[in-house]
Amino acid sequence: MGEVRLVVDHMKLEYKGIFSTREMFRMFTRWFKENPFEKGADYISEQHTSHGKCIEYVYWPWYKLSDFMRKYMKIRILIYDLKKVDIVVDGRKKTMDHAKIIIYIDGFMETDYEHRWGNAPMLIFIRTLYAKFIYKRYTKFFEKVIVDDCNGLYTHFETFFNMYKSYVPVKEAPYF
C-alpha cells in the first residue's frame, strides 16, 4: 500500500445565517468541473427533525498527478437546523435557507496509488528513496498543488457566504 500524507489538516469554515443550499452545491460543482477532480466515494446523509433538516455530505475527489502520485481531498459539509425563511432581495420577497454550516477540508497526497511498489521490502525501500530524495522536488511541488487546491476551495466557499451576509429575514425587515 502506498504512503498517504496528510498535507492540509482540517481547514474549517463556519457560517450561520441565510444562504441557498442549492446554489452552494452548484458553486461547489462548478469548482469540481473547473479543477477536474474525479468523483470518489461520497456519503450523503439527511435527517428531517423537528428543529429543521440536518444534512451531511462527504466528498472524496481525487486526481492523478502522475503514474506515481495522486492528490485527493476530503470535503465534509455539515448543515444543521436548515429551515426555509423568507427574505428581501431588491425589494422582492424570496424563499431561502437558514442554517448553521460547518465545512472541513482535508488535503492528502498518496504515493504509489496502484500499489505496484509495495509487494516486497526491497521495492518499498526503493520507492521511499525515490519519493524522499530523488523526486523530492516533485513531491514538494505536488504538495503545494494540493495546498493551493484546498485554499482555492476555501476561498470559493468564503466568497459565496459573504454574498449572503446582507440578507435579512422578512420578520426583521418588512418587504413592503
* 40 and 113 Cβ atoms separated by less than 8 Å: no
Question: Which long-range contacts link 94-98 to residues 24+ away (Cβ below 8 Å)?
Answer: 96/18, 96/19, 96/20, 96/164, 96/167, 97/18, 97/19, 97/20, 97/21, 98/17, 98/18, 98/169
The nearest distance, CB 51 to another protein, in angstroms, is 13
Nearer to another protein, 91 or 121 (CB): 121
Nearest distance from C-beta of residue 42 to another protein, angstroms = 5
CB-nearer residue toward another protein: 39 or 136 = 39
CB of 159 to another protein, least distance (A): 19
**CB 56 → another protein: shortest distance, Å?**
8
Residues of this chain that bind another protein (CB under 8 A):
21-22, 25-26, 29, 32-33, 38-49, 53, 55-57, 60, 82
Which C-beta is closer to another protein: that of 39 or that of 140? 39
